[in-house]
Amino acid sequence: MDGYGLYQLGDEHDALREAVRDLAEKEIAPHATEVDEQERFPAEALAALNKAGFAAPHIAEAYDGQGADSVATNIVIEEVARVCASSSLIPAVNKLGTMNLILGGSEELKKQVLSQIAAGEMASYALSEREAGSDTASMRTRARQDGDHWVLNGTKCWITNAGESSWYTVMAVSNPEAAKPVDGISAFMVHKDDPGFVVGSKERKLGIKGSPTREIHFENCTIPEDRIIGQPGQGLRLALRTLDHTRHSIGAQALGIAQGALDAAVAYVKERKQFGKAIAEFQGIQFMLADMATKVEAARHLVYAAAAKVERGAPDGSFASSAAKTFASDTAMEVTTDAVQLFGGAGYTRDFPVERMMRDAKITQIYEGTNQIQRLVMARSLLRG
Ligand SMILES: Cc1cc2nc3c(=O)[nH]c(=O)nc-3n(C[C@H](O)[C@H](O)[C@H](O)COP(=O)(O)OP(=O)(O)OC[C@H]3O[C@@H](n4cnc5c(N)ncnc54)[C@H](O)[C@@H]3O)c2cc1C
């Protein structure tokens, strides 16, 4: 491929963006303010995304999914996040909640779970605990084998879309005696109707208020033995490999939020008049816009390149995914803050979406590994050579 084509998405990706943008503007954007204000799940977005096949576009055709590649999946997440970050967590977390299974699960388990997600059910990912956030290997949730079942006990914390999802990828310690904690952790698929699975109360958050974040409890939660993903002891490695495939998608979410704020700011400065002219005519405003747009464009290239690298198994895929997530989320925070600034006092009110976008942007620097942890991952990979 020549360099010209290399830096241009294909027609299919462009057509996909057009279709998702149209759907997002017509069916998701009109509810975004209310979803945020009422802290309610964006049911309209879920219905619209399901109808169009965009709720879990990454599921392979073999499981009745759309078979979207990772760049296409990121375009879906980006375009939904441009109007409603909470709603963009539907496709993003459906990927996060199924990636362990896709990477390491048995064919029978894949058939059972992935076809349900393709048909409209949702999946969540349960790694974090109250005392095991960045230090994931210190988790305390236990899984013990009992005949032909696994019995889980413990509590997972901060689980996105918990209570809405049907399936949960759960990491738990199955061998507390393992020499290295990472080798003692296994991953399981737990269904909401499994006995002993309990959904806790909702967190009260700064942003992404339409996406419920809850604890989930396992009280002698009993699941069939074939719900383990891969072999015992592979769970944390699979969970960390999953994050390589999904951190750039959080980058895509951040990118969408930043693009939404930039678009709103460009429209506002052309309308708002001070000193007898549109504020867009002031060079101080123009320079801000130029810097915002530059960062958004740079983030877009990093996010798409990382998605492609991870999918084709490039050796620097993990680095690229962390770099894309870090740069795009820092960009989203900066660009949304600047957008509020460009709106002046109006930007600080709930009458305009930039205030919500600034609150929503913050989480992208925290979840799926904080940006400090991303920088550790990147530095380790650089120093390993
Ligand atoms: C809204 C929301 C949704 C979430 N969704 C999910 C989900 O669906 N599934 C899931 O499993 N988890 C989820 N999480 C959890 C999220 O991934 C963790 O919050 C995150 O990994 C950080 O862990 P922590 O909150 O325990 O912070 P801590 O680990 O306690 O970190 C506190 C601070 O210390 C810094 N820090 C920690 N260790 C180091 C270090 N070695 N070097 C430098 N700095 C360090 C951190 O960067 C941070 O600034 C979610 C969290 C939130 C808030």
Q: What percent of the chain has pLDDT over 70?
A: 98
CB atoms within 10 A of CB 373: 18
What are the backbone dihedrals phi and psi of residue 366, each rounded to the nearest 5 degrees, phi first? -110, -50
Q: Say yes or no: CB of residue 106 within 6 Å of ligand 1.
A: no
**Ligand 1 pocket mutation pick from 98, 139, 158, 380 by most atoms within 8 angstroms of CB:** 158
As to burial, measured by CB atoms within 10 angstroms (0-12 exposed, 13-18 middle, 19+ buried), residue 315 is: exposed
CA distance 261 to 276: 25
Residue 126: beta bridge partners? Answer: 170
Has domain 236-383 been given CATH number 1.10.3720.10?
no
Q: Which atom of ligand 1 is nearest to the CA of 127?
A: 11
Decide if pLDDT at 1 tops 70: no
CA distance 354 to 337: 8
Q: Which atom of ligand 1 is nearest to the CA of 372?
A: 47
Residue 189: beta bridge partners? Answer: 169
Q: Say yes or no: CB of residue 363 within 6 Å of ligand 1.
A: yes
Decide if pLDDT at 385 tops 80: no
- Catalytic residue IDs: 368
Has domain 11-119 been given CATH number 3.30.750.200?
no
DSSP H helices, the chain, are 3-6, 11-23, 29-38, 43-52, 70-83, 85-104, 107-118, 235-271, 283-311, 317-343, 354-363, 371-384
pLDDT-based confidence at 8, cuts 50/70/90?
Answer: confident
CA distance 283 to 286: 5
What global pTM score does this model have?
A: 0.98
- pLDDT average, residue stretch 161-179: 98
* For the chain, domain boundaries: 11-119, 123-233, 236-383
**Ligand 1 pocket mutation pick from 128, 165, 374 by most atoms within 8 angstroms of CB:** 128
Q: What is the second-level CATH architecture of the domain 123-233? A: Beta Barrel (2.40)
Decide if pLDDT at 310 tops 70: yes
- CA of 169 from ligand 1 middle (Å) equals 18
Decide if pLDDT at 3 tops 70: no
Alpha carbon nearest to ligand 1 atom 37, residue: 134
233-265 residue pLDDT tens? 999 999 999 999 999 999 999 999 999 999 999
Decide if pLDDT at 285 tops 90: yes
Please give the pLDDT value at position 7. 78
330-366 residue pLDDT tens? 999 999 999 999 999 999 999 999 999 999 999 999 9
Decide if pLDDT at 41 tops 90: yes
- The sign of the CA dihedral 199, 200, 201, 206 is negative
- Asked if domains 11-119 and 236-383 share a fold, the reply is no
Q: Which atom of ligand 1 is nearest to the CA of 376?
A: 42
- CA of 167 from ligand 1 middle (Å) equals 22
